[in-house]
Amino acid sequence: MPVTPQSRTATIVQLGLAQTLAWASSYYLPAILAVPMARDLGISTPTVFAAFSAALVVSALLGPAAGKAIDRHGGKPVLAANSLIFAAGLATLAFAQGPVGLFAGWVILGVAMAAGLYEAAFAALVHLYGKDARGAITGITLFAGFASTVGWPLSTWLELEWGWRTTCLVWAALHLLLGLPLNWRLPGSSISSTATHSAPDIAAEALPDSAPPQTTQPAPAATARTAALLALVFAVTWFISTAMAAHLPRLLQAHGVPLATALIFAGLVGPAQVAGRLLEYGLLRNIHPLISARAAGAMHTLGAAVFLFFGVPAGAIFTVLHGAGNGVLTIAKGTLPLVLFGVRDYGVRQGLLMVPARFAQATAPWLFGLAIDRFGAGALWFSAALGLVAFAALMLLHDPSSAAARHGD
């Protein structure tokens, strides 16, 4: 079907709401339900987080297959079917009677997360809009940026009123009653002939309008180098993001920030993420995504340096810079593969690029927790150094179209 401006807006709203539901009922669930789950099942809280880590590993392993399915069939059937998998995983959790049921539920949710979070949504948008997907990618992250803002209070209220099992069942019902219709109403592909295009044509489509078309594909060695650098960037930035999500209040307290103030500072991350995405959607939308990614990649390290040298008063600066950078980098995870590699096989390539990131994400809470236990406030040097690694990798990346332009000159 043709994609009109009206249907494009509707698609962003629908997919944005579905993504908010998906993130709130999976990634942000353990922070609220891990303790009551552990208490009721007679296991330790770290065991619940281990099951969550297992889900992230499953999503890493299945991500490329999910992307390939979207490349072939579009986002509508994959995301709609995935709503059923989310519901099944949450229902399995609700009826768990011990560690086996707990891990089974999280493994099913790992399957759902492989084909139901940002990477799948980005692939669905690229399948629909091709080189013009950048604005739509930013749009859905604006919605899903509030997943924790919506999910944590709702899960807390439901758990306090009816318990964690009912909370899981409510989230499962929302996937059936809200997520499934939203995903099913997504339009079909408007570029279904993509698979028949030649690779150079597709690569040229993904370039800025001002860039000259490429007549040859990049050398395999150059393509492999670009993919390796991009996978490194994604792995490092997801590690930092997940580590901060799990330990930020504790990290702030280790630097002498009082608990109440630490919670206020940590609460600035969400609004800063949304502000960064609004900036990307507005002022930065005409700037090459590699440039905005480089700026964002430096923000965590810059904020950490200010905090380390100026102490408690600079804690708010650190959290705002970290949040804003993380918000823009989330979008870059969708736009950089599109610009650097083109539309062809976007979904499967995105899945492959995110495999190291999913493994890094699965280990981040544990490893950074050990760093805080061992080094206290000095653990921030660790994340700051990782931020420098990501920034350096971004500086080593080059857009093939820019190289072609320089060669033409």
Give the mean model confidence (pLDDT) for residues 192-210.
38
pTM, to two decimals: 0.76
Task: Report residue 402's pLDDT band, with 50, 70 and 90 as the boundaries.
Answer: low
Per-residue pLDDT, 335:
81
Higher pLDDT, residue 366 or 92:
92
> Cβ atoms within 10 A of the Cβ of 245, count?
18
Tell me the per-residue pLDDT of 231-271, one tens digit each, with 9 for 90 and over.
Answer: 999 999 989 988 887 778 778 888 888 878 887 887 788 78
User: What pLDDT is recorded for position 198?
Assistant: 35
CATH of domain 199-403: 1.20.1250.20
Which pLDDT belongs to residue 3? 52
Using CA atoms, how far apart are residues 252 and 321, in angstroms rounded to an integer?
14
CATH 3.40.50.360: does it fit domain 5-196? Answer: no
CATH 1.20.1250.20 in the chain, residues?
5-196, 199-403
Give the pLDDT confidence score for residue 190 in this predicted structure.
52
What rounded mean pLDDT belongs to the chain? Answer: 82
Q: How many CB atoms lie within 10 A of CB 146?
A: 17
> pLDDT over 90 for what percent of the chain?
31
pLDDT digits (tens, 9 = 90+) for 162-178: 999 999 999 999 999 99
Give residue 332's pLDDT: 82
Which tokens sit at 257?
A: 């920030």
**Phi and psi at residue 95, to the nearest 5°:** -105, 10
d(CA 123, CA 118): 8
pLDDT digits 0-9 by tens, 14-71:
999 999 999 989 988 887 788 899 999 999 888 888 898 899 889 888 888 888 888 8
pLDDT average, residue stretch 217-224: 69
Angle between helices 220-254 and 355-375 (to 10 degrees): 30
Tokens of 93: 């959790």
Which pLDDT value is given to residue 400?
62
pLDDT higher than threshold 80 for residue 85: yes
pLDDT at 237: 92
- CB-based contacts of 225: which residues, under 8 Å, 6+ apart? none
- The per-residue pLDDT for 376 is 84
| Torsion 27-28-31-37 (CA) sign | negative
What pLDDT does residue 395 have?
92
Cβ-contact 211, 404 below 8 angstroms = yes
